[in-house]
């Protein structure tokens, strides 16, 4: 099982990594590229902590091979702020106190971003349904919901 | 949790895929979305030497609609794509309703409908509506192809008739007669992302003149070793005007003909409730 050269476009930048084919996108992001925003929790696709965006859609990086993510646009939490300015969702999470231990936050925010990109004014139910694959073991769901609602209405 | 090592192959044509499957047989597993495959590999339930990715064959990610041939869905079509497809929403909305229940937003963006069927979980949400729609699967291998009705595809929990050297190349759903509507109803285990405890798909064709039922199909998941049709109950509906009493009777027949393995009393009760609900829901859509 030789290492292969994998080219990934992450947050707009092209990165080259030599990795074996069984390595997941999550492992390569965290261990080879130092992008530790995406987290591993369950490792089996139940919790959403490893969520990143691929071509704008939320996927589980713990069940995606790095080699299969070639040629796609990958967005991690590190890529959300622009010129030192946090993304409105990141600001709303801070303002609303929607971060406790922080382990679910990057996945939560990226999935929320994809929800708002698809539908800028979702209902509470649509947000809850959209975020059902992101578990928060601090159980701070109300604050998270409020943060996404605040970001969707443009209020800080 | 790591995925054990394997050799990664990425053929660019269906023919090459079949050659590889023919060569490696049980040593190989097909990768489409990966949401079942990599979980099983991480848990070391399966340890294929070779993983054959379909993702290099872009034309497998296709949904086609033809007035004569009906609907064709390729093996790379993901649940999320089905949810957002106007033809499926318009003509096969019970499938849309079921896809909305599957997994989570992330899983729906990764997992494929064909992969869902090949995993052959008794509780597959997609299987019930697809059974009611009398879906057919095209299986291909290096030396030929065959068409298999979905009902014959499942042979046991997580078991199908698919041979190691075969692949599901597409699924086909025929055009429905006019005045046909359906509904998918379910209840799930502890949480909204939990496994489906009972899933019920109902498809009804009703005569617009006298509102008698011309055709009825009822299929269920999670109430038997495989997803199943409830044919005795279907018979009770055909030729009758569907009202609350007839729905109740059909639901009772379903409850008697299913074979739940665990929590049988509860599953029979819930099947009864959900079948009645699905019939009434479908009738409401006809208006």
pLDDT single digits (tens) A64-84 = 999 999 999 999 999 999 999
Q: Output the 3-class SS for chain B.
A: CCCCCCEEECCCCHHHHHHHHHHHHHHEEEECCCCCHHHHHHCCCCCCCEEEECCCCHHHCCEEEECCCEEEECCCCEHHHHHCCHHHHHHCHHHHHHHHHCCCHHHHHHCEHHHHHHHCCCCCCCHHHHHHCCCEEEEEECCEEEEEEHHHHEEECCEECCCCCCEEEEEEECCCCCCEEEEEEEEECCCCCCCEEEEEEEEEEECCCCCEEEEEEEEEECCCCCCEECHHHHHHHCCCECCHHHHHHHHHHHHHHCCCCCCHHHHHHHHHHHHHHHHHHHHHHHC
DSSP state of A100: S
Give the pLDDT confidence score for residue B40 in this predicted structure. 97
Residue B189 C-alpha from the chain's centroid: 19
Cα–Cα dist B89/B94, whole Å: 8
Give kind and range of the element (H or E) at residue A42.
Answer: none
User: Position of tokens 């801070």?
Assistant: A94
Closest CB to B38 among A63, A129, A134: A63
**Which CATH number does the domain B182-286 belong to among 3.30.559.10, 3.30.390.50, 3.20.20.70, 3.20.20.10?**
3.30.390.50
Give yes or no for A26 touching B (CB within 8 A): no
Q: Fold identical between B7-53 and B182-286?
A: no
Contacts 24+ apart (CB under 8 A), A97-101: A97/A140, A97/A143, A98/A140, A98/A143, A98/A144, A98/A146, A98/A147, A99/A140, A100/A136, A100/A138, A100/A140, A101/A137, A101/A138
Angle at A106 between CA A101 and CA A112, to 5 degrees: 120
pLDDT at A153 over 80: yes
What's the mean pLDDT when you consider all of chain B?
95
Asked if residue B158 lies in contact with residue B230, where contact means CB atoms within 8 angstroms, the answer is no
Q: What is the pLDDT of residue A1?
A: 64
Q: Give the CATH number of domain B58-173.
A: 3.30.465.10
Q: Is the pLDDT of residue A40 over 90?
A: yes
B7-53: what fold? 3.30.43
Distance CA B241, CA B182 (A): 16
Cβ separation of B104 and A132 shorter than 8 Å?
A: yes
Q: Can you give the residue ranges of every domain in chain B?
A: 7-53, 58-173, 182-286
Assess whether pLDDT exceeds 80 at residue B12: yes
Q: What CA–CA distance (Å, rounded) separates B230 from B279?
A: 13
Query: pLDDT tens digits, residue range B173-209?
Result: 999 999 999 999 999 887 766 789 999 999 999 998 8
Closest in B38, B55, B104 to A133, CB measured:
B104
**What CA–CA distance (Å, rounded) separates B213 from B56?**
46
Taking 70 as the threshold, does the pLDDT of residue A89 lie above it? yes
pLDDT at B286: 82
Q: What is the gyration radius of the CA atoms in chain A, in angstroms?
A: 15
In order of their start, the domains of chain A are 4-79 (3.10.20.30), 88-153 (1.10.150.120)
C-alpha separations of A107 from A53, B143, B258 in Å: 9, 45, 41
Q: In what order do the strands lie in the sheet with B50-53?
A: B7-9, B50-53, B28-31
For chain B, percent of residues with pLDDT exceeding 70? 99
Query: In the beta sheet, which residues pair with residue B39?
Result: none
Coil, helix or strand for A16?
strand
Using one digit for the tens of pLDDT, what is the confidence trace for B20-73? 999 999 999 999 999 999 999 999 999 999 999 999 999 999 999 999 999 999
- Which tokens belong to B138? 């095209």
Residue A110 has pLDDT above 60, yes or no: yes
Contact state of B110 with A59 under an 8 Å Cβ cutoff: yes
- Identify all chain B residues contacting A21, using CB atoms and an 8 Å cutoff: 6-8, 51
Query: How close does chain A come to B218, measured CA to CA in Å?
Result: 27
Q: Which of B4, B53, B193 shows the shortest C-beta gap to A133?
A: B193
What is the value of pTM for the model shown? 0.95
From edge to edge, which strands make up the β-sheet containing A73-75? Answer: A13-19, A4-10, A73-75, A51-54, A57-60
- Show residues of chain A in contact with B3, CB under 8 Å: 22-24, 65
Beta bridge partners of B73: B63, B171
- A98 has a chain B CB within 8 A of its CB: no
Token couple for B163: 């041979």
Is residue A156's pLDDT more than 60?
no
Cβ atoms of A51 and A134 closer than 8 Å: yes
Find tokens 């369950």 and name the residue.
A42
Contact (Cβ atoms closer than 8 angstroms) between residue B162 and residue B143: no
| Helix and strand counts by DSSP (H, E) for chain A | 5, 5
Interval B111-124 mean pLDDT: 96
């Amino acid at each position: 099982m030789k290492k292969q050269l994998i080219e990934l476009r992450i947050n707009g930048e092209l990165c080259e990594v030599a990795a074996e084919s069984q390595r997941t996108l999550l492992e390569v992001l965290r261990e080879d590229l130092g992008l530790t925003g995406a987290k591993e929790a369950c490792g089996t696709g139940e919790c959403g902590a490893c969520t990143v965006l691929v071509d704008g859609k939320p996927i589980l990086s713990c069940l995606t091979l790095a080699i299969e993510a070639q040629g796609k646009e990958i967005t991690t939490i590190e890529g959300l702020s622009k010129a030192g300015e946090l993304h409105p969702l990141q600001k709303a999470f801070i303002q609303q106190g929607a971060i406790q231990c922080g382990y679910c936050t990057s996945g939560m925010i990226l999935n929320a971003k994809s929800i708002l990109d698809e539908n800028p004014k979702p209902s509470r139910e649509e947000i809850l349904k959209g975020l059902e694959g992101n578990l928060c073991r601090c159980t701070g769901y109300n604050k998270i919901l409020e943060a996404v609602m605040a970001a969707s209405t443009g209020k800080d | 949790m790591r995925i054990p090592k394997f050799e990664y192959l990425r053929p660019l044509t269906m023919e090459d895929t079949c050659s590889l499957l023919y060569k490696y047989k049980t040593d190989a597993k097909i990768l489409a979305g990966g949401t079942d495959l990599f979980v099983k590999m991480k848990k070391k339930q399966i340890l294929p030497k070779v993983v054959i990715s379909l993702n290099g064959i872009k034309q497998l990610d296709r949904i086609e609609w033809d007035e004569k041939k009906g609907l064709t869905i390729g093996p790379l079509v993901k649940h999320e794509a089905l949810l957002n497809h106007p033809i499926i929403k318009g003509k096969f909305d019970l499938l849309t309703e079921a896809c909305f229940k599957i997994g989570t937003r992330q899983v729906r963006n990764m997992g494929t409908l064909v992969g869902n069927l090949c995993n052959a979980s008794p509780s597959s949400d997609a299987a019930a509506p697809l059974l009611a729609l009398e879906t057919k699967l095209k299986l291909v291998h290096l030396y030929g192809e065959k068409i298999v009705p979905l009902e014959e595809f499942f042979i046991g929990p997580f078991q199908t008739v698919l041979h190691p050297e075969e692949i599901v190349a597409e699924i086909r759903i025929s055009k429905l007669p006019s005045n046909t509507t359906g509904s998918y109803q379910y209840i799930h285990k502890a949480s909204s992302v939990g496994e489906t405890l009972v899933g019920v798909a109902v498809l009804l064709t009703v005569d617009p003149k006298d509102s008698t039922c011309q055709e009825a199909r009822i299929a269920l998941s999670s109430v038997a070793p495989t997803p199943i049709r409830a044919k005795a109950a279907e018979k009770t509906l055909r030729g009758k005007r569907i009202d609350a009493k007839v729905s109740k009777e059909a639901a009772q027949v379903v409850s008697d003909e299913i074979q739940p393995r665990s929590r049988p009393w509860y599953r029979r009760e819930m099947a009864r409730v959900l079948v009645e609900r699905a019939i009434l829901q479908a009738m409401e859509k006809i208006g």
